[in-house]
Amino acid sequence: MGMSAAQARLLYITAQLNNLSHQGQAVSDAKIRLSMDTEAIQEKYTQALANTNLYVNSNIFSSTGTTTKSELISLENLKAQNLLVYDGNKVLGYKYEQVDTGRTQTVVVGYEDDLTKPIYPTKTEKVGFEDASNLIPAYGTESLTEMEAIVAASGLGEDDLKTSSYTTVINGKETEINAIEIKSQAGFEAIIEAMGTNSEALKQNYVFNLPEGESINLGVYQDWPGIPAFQGIFDGNGTTFENLNGSQGLFSSLYGTVKNVNLANATIAADTDAIGGMAGYLADGASIENCNVTNVDITCNLQPDTEYPEGYQPERAGVGGLVGLNNGNISGSSVSGTINVPYADESFGYIGGAIGANMNTAKGDSKISNTYADVNIVLSDNADYSNSINGFIGDDTHETYISNCVSMGSITTADGSPINGSDLANWGPVIESDVSNMIALDTRNNNNVLYWGSSTSPTFDSGSTDSNVLSDAYVELPDGSTVKVWLDSNDEGYADEAENQTTSAANGIPVLNLGAIQESTLAQEVEKEVPDTTQEPIGYEQKAITEEIPIMETRLVQDPDFEGLTSAELEMGLKSGKYQLVTPANEATTQSVSINGTDYELVSLNACTAISEQQDEQKLALAEAEYEKAMKEIQTKDKRYEMDQKRIDTEYDALMTEEESIKNVINKNVERSFKAFG
């Protein structure tokens, strides 16, 4: 190849190499753009995978058991799940309005005179005893037949026993009852005999109606054992029971009500674990009302380290002037006398001037009111004693309510020495109870007066107390009248009341006005206001004028004026906290909100099982298809670019080889030329 031809070919090759370099750069740029396109496609697909929406949970079953279709949240399908959307002011998409239920109710729109029911002036009438068979219905009517059988079995006439109806107060309400009317000592003895042979006799009601001035003599019984498990009403009607001598008080156990009974000069001595002047045991719901025990002498002979029948251990004994062991209620009652426990020691049970022990386990089940105890408790000559010895209640661990009570008397050893134990005398009775207006004399400290106002901690007042603190205390009787509970030394009747409360009188403290309370109670049982039909009517009872009106109900209904929310707007508002989910609440709590008077609970979006966050399957499928198509196109382009690059590289390498060869030829030609002309 000549010089000129080689040079021309070299120029051509150089031009072609430049062209191939440009083509290679173009392919490289295309591949970079292809990589960027790949990243964009992958980013778009990643966003599609992360794109979710809120749906009503698909795991909810219809009434037919089929699964409901999952739907984007809306106000309607949320309400179907008992969920509402609250914007802090109102429920979105709904409103409250009054809707007629289709039902009616009767309402009183006025009153008019009932001309068939005239109102007459009243007059006070003595209420006597009537033939019980004339009373229909009556309290205890179901036992009238049994009462008549008991009276008939006695063989006594109407001057001794009869069935009657009369008016008395039961649970604070004036009530007519049927009862066996006991009119003589013989009638009483017949009833006691019946109680010993016929258990039904212990379930009946009894009322005493002895001639004025007569009493019941219990001295005819050489060893009175107490009436056992009595369940009816025992109304002494003011009768005095005298000369009891035996092993128990009037009742050994009382499950009913004893009222208006006076027990005088009773002597009780026994080695049993429950002794009381009125009852050894007062059961749940039983009551002692307006009863007086005077000059009682009780001795409990239980001894330590001695074998007794089961249930008669000294450690659980209850000895009280009124009741030994108490689960019931005591009101308007009193006791005076002496309790002797000659073998008392640090392990002995419970001794109290009024009550040995209050045994109720639930606070408030037992109430003791308007009651006093003026009882001297005489113990053994032991050095140590149980802490459950007290002028009022020996043990009050099971709390009761005590109001308007007086606790008096001394607690001494057999030789008359005072007891100096830290928890004895009159400190203990109200340590656990709710107390209002209670006075006690602390015999350990020169007869200091203790007064409980409305707390469990008494206040001391050395030697006396301010009677004015109690002067305004009144009790309301069942007939609505009130009686002054306390008397001080300036009040009429103080001396009469204080006669049985000598310690109170000596210390100048107010006296519990039991006389007036009991007299008023008895008076209302023998007198009542009745219409005087001999007079002209003073008016007429009113009868109601009624009218039927529709029953309206506030209901939540759709609000047609609401502009609506798209699922996307609703979702954005819930996620941002602009809106809150609420559901109707069963009751108002500190966590609930009130919307138009209705209480709702706030429902956390994250904790709500009725809503789930899911992907849109159709959008996801479309994104996957687009991704796969784009990636295939990129792969095709990438392969083409690879082939173009290989072609360029091959051509480039061939031209470079040819260029090198031509350069060698040119160099040899130049060398020969220099030699020829050299």
Quick one: 346 and 263 in the same domain? Answer: yes
Are the beta carbons of 440 and 407 closer than 8 angstroms?
yes
Q: What is the pLDDT of residue 371?
A: 92
Are the beta carbons of 610 and 92 closer than 8 angstroms?
no
In a domain, 226, yes or no: no
- CA neighbours closer than 13 Å in the CB half-sphere of residue 31: 14
Quick one: 308 and 387 in the same domain? Answer: yes
428 has pLDDT over 50: no
SS3 31: helix
344 has pLDDT over 60: yes
pLDDT digits (tens, 9 = 90+) for 164-186: 988 887 777 778 889 999 999 99
Q: What is the pLDDT of residue 463?
A: 45
Give every CB contact of residue 444 below 8 A, 6+ residues apart in sequence. 418, 419, 420, 424, 425
| pTM of the complete model | 0.61
Quick one: 155 and 70 in the same domain? Answer: no
Quick one: 288 and 174 in the same domain? Answer: no
Q: What is the pLDDT of residue 505?
A: 66
What is the Cα–Cα distance from 60 to 57, expressed in whole angstroms?
6
Average the pLDDT over each of 87-91, 231-235, 438-442, 481-485 and give the range with the smallest value: 438-442
Quick one: 418 and 342 in the same domain? Answer: yes
Q: What is the pLDDT of residue 2?
A: 57
In terms of average pLDDT, the best of 33-47, 200-214, 467-481 is 200-214
What is the Cα–Cα distance from 583 to 593, expressed in whole angstroms?
10
Quick one: 190 and 303 in the same domain? Answer: no
Among 181, 214, 247, give the residue marking a domain's end. Answer: 214
DSSP per-residue codes, 141-189: GGGHHHHHHHHHHHT--TTTEEEEEEEEEETTEEEEEEEEEE-SHHHHH
149 has pLDDT over 80: yes
pLDDT digits (tens, 9 = 90+) for 366-395: 889 899 898 989 988 776 777 788 888 887
Q: Which tokens hold the place of 443?
A: 């015999």
How would you classify the pairing of strands 206-208 and 233-242?
parallel
131 has pLDDT over 50: yes
Among 420, 442, 468, give the residue marking a domain's end. Answer: 468
Domain that holds residue 536: 98-121+532-554
Quick one: 174 and 265 in the same domain? Answer: no
Q: How many domains does the chain have?
A: 5
What is the Cα–Cα distance from 176 to 30, expressed in whole angstroms?
114
Q: What is the pLDDT of residue 427?
A: 46
Quick one: 538 and 575 in the same domain? Answer: no
Quick one: 385 and 336 in the same domain? Answer: yes
294 has pLDDT over 50: yes
In a domain, 609, yes or no: yes
